[in-house]
Amino acid sequence: MRSTTVILQKIFSQRFYLQNTGFFLVLFYLLFGVVNGGNLLPYHYGLMMGFIGNYTFLLLVLLLWTLYAGKCVGFILKTFQLQGYDFLYPTMGSIDPPIRRRIWIFLHVSIYLPVLIYAGIAVVVAISHGYYLPAAIIAVFNIMMCLWPVYVYERKLAQPDVIFFTSRLQRRINQYLIKPPVLFFLYELFTNFPRRILSTKLFSAGVLWITFFLLEQGGEFDLRGLQLGVMVSVLLHLQLMLHHRAFDDAYLGFIQQLPIPLYRHYGRLVMIYLLMFLPEMLMIIVNGYTKINVLDFFTVFCTALSLLVLFRTLLYFPKINPEVHVRYVLLISFVVLFMILGRYEWWAVGLLQVAAAIIFFRQYRLYENYIDIAEKA
């Protein structure tokens, strides 16, 4: 049974953290990157005392934790529907129900753990200051967040053909809308993975909002600060890029064999990420139209789009897994960051575009479906 638990932990826990690397990078930025090291402990202490002593604030924090719990549940449910993971139904179904429920709790806690750690510290702080009711609310709430998903997982195991509301929407759209190829992946996200793209866009919007807030507090608006926030927003989209590769591998392999020029394939790739980043572009325009000029807007947009396209084309290299992909992404991001700080933005954009085009035109026809040997084993 121990070996089964280890395998399930690799399938669920490790894959969750790898696929959500961008999400956790942004979370780290929000919790630790917006303040300097000397004020870090007072900052979190004040934050905890804020929601411990204010029930409205506490309700907002509980809502955010609920969204994260929903993200965890959605990931486990979606894993059952992925190709190659059909064995999970007979594997989990053959385990005795009491043991299986303990495994469900263990798996869910392993991916809900960041919230549990933060909530546990908050409970200790609340009790030490005599806020016993908020401490009890936080403790009971998080215990429930670890128990109710067990019912959902058991229901999924007993009824694998349960249809979610997005399936009805998907049938309606398929009936009345003929989609161009550039919308295939975006359609897949909105119909089959709405929580994933919604959570990505919410945190991306939060990063940009904090960026504008901090820049306004500093007095003079610095374009380089905005570009730093945009780079963090781009990093948050890494999980969507990995999903894009999986989607292309599973459904769009035939497109590579069509008699279509490579430049049209490349244009389709650029348009996908242009449309994907459009909400952030609109948010930047709305918040910054009185602070920066049209050329600055164009510079920021070109930088973001160039990073997105290059990060996606890196996945056309054979045998590049999420861990290796993140290493290259962070290395490129640091180089681009220093170029931006040195006011070489257009040099950075040019190098990113050239690198993305070279990788795409060399690798696109040679690319074969990615198979993670570790996961397969």
Q: What is the pLDDT of residues 120-139, one digit of tens each?
A: 999 999 999 889 999 999 99
Q: What pLDDT, on the 0 to 100 scale, is given for residue 199?
A: 84
| Residue keyed to tokens 């933060």 | 118
Summarize pLDDT for 220-245 with one digit per residue, the tens: 777 888 888 899 999 989 989 988 98
State the average pLDDT for the chain: 84
329 in Cβ contact with 238 (< 8 Å): yes
Which residues, at least 6 apart from 314, have a Cβ–Cβ distance to it below 8 Å?
Answer: 320, 325, 328, 329, 359
Q: What are phi and psi of 207, to 5 degrees?
A: -65, -45
Give mean pLDDT, residues 103-107: 90
260-310: pLDDT as tens digits: 888 999 999 999 999 999 999 998 888 877 778 888 889 999 999 999 999
